Amino acid sequence: MPSHSYDVLARLSPQVPPGMVERAAEWTEESVPRPAVPAASVILLRDGDNGLETYLLHRHAQMPFAASMVVFPGGRVDPVDTDGLDPIRRCAVRETTEETGVVLAETDLHPWARWITPELEPRRYDTWFFVAVMPGGQNAADISGETERAEWSTPQAALLAERSGVIKMLPPTLSILIELADCPTVAEVIDHVHERQIEPVLPGVVKVPDGWRFRYPQAPASKKSS
């Protein structure tokens, strides 16, 4: 598995969603991006009968952000999260409990990726993604009120559903599932977190001869995994 968080970006489609294409066409050098709000998301993991599984939320079509998308539990940092030493981790723990009923400790969280919403978007987030092993004796449930349903799924099944057009995902979710699909067990994922190099991914949106495309950063040659 790649050890730099940029390595997976070469495996993502550069295609830009139609709504973003319209905003890109209206964006000028004088346009001012809105601030990216701090946020956190948690990739719950467990070993299932068919291999590694993660808990996915199918968001309602009426949601103001990521409508109809399949996502991991998470959300923006709230004032209540700033009482501790690490607001991002407190947010991750709180959002996981509010959306799934699963209670985690901050020490259960292992950083995996960090994504920042493109500058031309009206709602922007600076999101840390953490992997966490599903605690024994607990069950995840769809209690957020923001989803149509939630389910445990292997990364491979989720990726197949996305490629078939059955579900939709934003690039951060897609990239994480692509990496997890290379890991057969929870233990193997956790083995990789200690050697992983994480840098923020801020996708650019650029004009090319046949339309608009995402431009993702690349890891420096010295940081790429062998």
In a domain? residue 16: no
In a domain, 44, yes or no: yes
What is the rounded end-to-end Cα distance, in angstroms, of the chain? 10
CATH assignment at residue 75: 3.90.79.10
pLDDT at 16: 92
The count of other CB atoms within 10 Å of the CB of residue 162 is 16
pLDDT reading at 226 higher than 60: no
- Kindly indicate the confidence band of residue 2, based on its pLDDT and cuts at 50, 70 and 90: low
Average pLDDT score over residue span 176-188: 96
Q: How confident is the model at residue 222 (pLDDT cuts 50, 70, 90)?
A: very low
Report DSSP letters for 121-170, one per residue. -SS-EEEEEEEEEPPTT------SSSEEEEEEE-HHHHHHHHHTTSSB--
CA distance 106 to 121: 30
Number of domains in the chain: 1
**pLDDT at residue number 143:** 87
- Asked if residue 175 belongs to a domain, the reply is yes
Domain that holds residue 97: 37-194
Contact, 129 vs 89, CB < 8 A? Answer: no
Spatial distance between the Cα atoms of 100 and 167, rounded to a whole number of angstroms: 20
pLDDT tens track for 72-129: 999 999 999 998 789 999 999 999 999 999 999 999 999 999 999 999 999 999 999 9
Put simply, whether the predicted model's pTM sits higher than 0.85 gets the answer yes
pLDDT digits (tens, 9 = 90+) for 48-76: 999 999 999 987 555 545 556 899 999 99
